[in-house]
Chain A
Amino acid sequence: NAGVTQTPKFQVLKTGQSMTLQCAQDMNHEYMSWYRQDPGMGLRLIHYSVGAGITDQGEVPNGYNVSRSTTEDFPLRLLSAAPSQTSVYFCASSSAAGAFGEQYFGPGTRLTVT
């Protein structure tokens, strides 16, 4: 199993550009989520999904969109990038059969917006 994969690993955007961060998991997990990590702020939840076709907002959803058309994929779209979105982004997945909160993380995408 590859687990949770994320692409790209690094990305530089100009203000106003849009892009999609990709996330895929091969563990057939029902739950997937996106976090951003900033120094001193820990992990903040952006959006999450409890199954294909179902998504919900987390703590910091503004400026981001998600969709979940398949169990495996959960892309995160930046609509119009801003310098405040410079961060490291992590995707995670978990199983409904597991414990509440036991998550498997991808390696992260480091995004810089200039």
Chain B
Amino acid sequence: AQSVTQPDIHITVSEGASLELRCNYSYGATPYLFWYVQSPGQGLQLLLKYFSGDTLVQGIKGFEAEFKRSQSSFNLRKPSVHWSDAAEYFCAVGERGGSYIPTFGRGTSLIVHP
């Protein structure tokens, strides 16, 4: 079964600084990979996804993520963080040819200082 690790529980950055949130997965083949964002008091919204092809994927709100097979990673990046990016971020992995139910990481809480 697949698993997802988000090693950082909290990340604090200053507004305007760059951001990288880490995600490592365990899965035997190339998985489907997702990043979701949850603003306070809201449900989860899909930021971006990787299925195949170009390993650098662009998402909404200026986010991007890079799939690195050799490192089993799918880290989320943003070059300049805005105060409105403060939220909980979840990495998820879906199994090709298997269940439609993804496995989620425990989340990383992003705090943005003015």
State whether A100 touches B99 (Cβ < 8 A).
yes
State whether A101 touches B43 (Cβ < 8 A).
no
Residues on the B chain within 8 Å of A50, using CB:
100
Interface size class of B (residues with CB under 8 A): 20 to 34
**When A31-B100, A42-B105, A90-B44 are in contact, do A100 and B94 touch as well, CB less than 8 Å?**
yes
CB distance from B28 to the nearest CB of A (A): 14
Count contacts between A and B, CB distance < 8 Å.
66
Residue in contact with A33 in the complex, picked from B45, B90, B101, B107, CB distance below 8 Å: B101
A25 within 8 A of B: no
Interface residues of chain B: helix, strand, loop or mixed (majority)? loop
Residues on the A chain within 8 Å of B95, using CB:
100-101
CB distance from B36 to the nearest CB of A (A): 8
Which residues does A use to contact B, with CB under 8 Å? 4, 30-31, 33, 40-43, 45, 48, 50, 58, 90, 92, 94, 96, 99-108
Please give 14 more A-B residue pairs, beta carbons under 8 A apart, in addition to A94-B100, A102-B32: A4-B43, A31-B101, A40-B9, A43-B90, A50-B100, A92-B44, A99-B51, A99-B94, A100-B96, A100-B102, A101-B32, A101-B102, A103-B44, A106-B43
